[in-house]
Amino acid sequence: YDPFPAGASGNADKARELLKEAGYADGLTVTLTHSNAKGGPKGPEVATALQDALKKAGITVKLQGLEGNDYNDTVASAKKEPGFFLRGWGADWPSGGPFLAPIFDGRQIVQDGANFNTGFLNDASVNSEIDEINKLTDLTAAAPRWGALDKKIGEQAVVVPLFHPVYKRLVGKDVKNVVISDWTGVLDVSQVAVK
């Protein structure tokens, strides 16, 4: 779901207009916390790309890179969590339960440990819908309800998707059954074989 469509490369003019309405006619300066680990979705390459993209909208992004454990301890701490940081999440199986519940169920906010509900959403209607969907044993009945809940949460903009990785796979001519999983986005090694 995309409740705030801005096209493939964003809409800098609309962003400037919204900043002005919010009282930031001269722009806004924010700090983006990221991991110093190179090559990953939370690393300096993604942070720099975001810095460049947001500059077009009048947002100055200062980068704060942290090393391994310090980064993880900071962004997963309810007490130390920065306001703007890179984080990722992937479901353990193709369902809304392992995706939406850990990051949006307010009853799972952890004050003194690893907190994954980084938006601190504690909406009774969201919590209740998670419980009701989890009672369903028919996955075909649960799927549209997870989708509707995903849409509802997305409209609140509790967390904001900042990037979407696209992977390219090169496969030799003597390899067969190369299938990319729809839900994990990685190669399904159980099906790969040599011709």
CA-to-CA separations, 111 to 32, 76, 82, 115, in angstroms, rounded: 22, 10, 14, 7
Residue type, 21: E
Chain segment 98-128, per-residue pLDDT in tens = 889 999 999 999 999 899 999 999 999 999 9
CB 139 within 8 A of CB 108: no
Residues of the chain with CATH 3.10.105.10: 1-88
Nearest CA among 145, 82, 74 for reference residue 114:
74
Q: List all residues 6 or more positions away from 17 whose beta carbon is below 8 Å from its beta carbon.
A: none
| pTM given for the model | 0.82
pLDDT in tens, 24-53: 999 999 999 999 998 888 999 999 999 999
Q: Distance of CA 18 to CAs 21, 162, 182, Å?
A: 5, 18, 36
Q: At residue 146, does pLDDT exceed 90?
A: yes
Nearest Cα neighbor of 12 from 48, 53, 52 is 53
Please compute the mean of the pLDDT values over residues 55-84 and round it to a whole number: 94
Provide the sign of the torsion angle of the four alpha carbons 88, 42, 31, 49, taken in this order.
negative
1-88: CATH number: 3.10.105.10
Q: Is 33 helix (H, G, I), strand (E, B) or coil?
A: strand
- Residue 149 · residue 155 · CB < 8 Å: no
Q: How far is CA 115 from CA 79, 104, 109, in A?
A: 10, 11, 6
Amino acid 139: pLDDT: 87
d(C-alpha 135, C-alpha 63), whole Å: 43
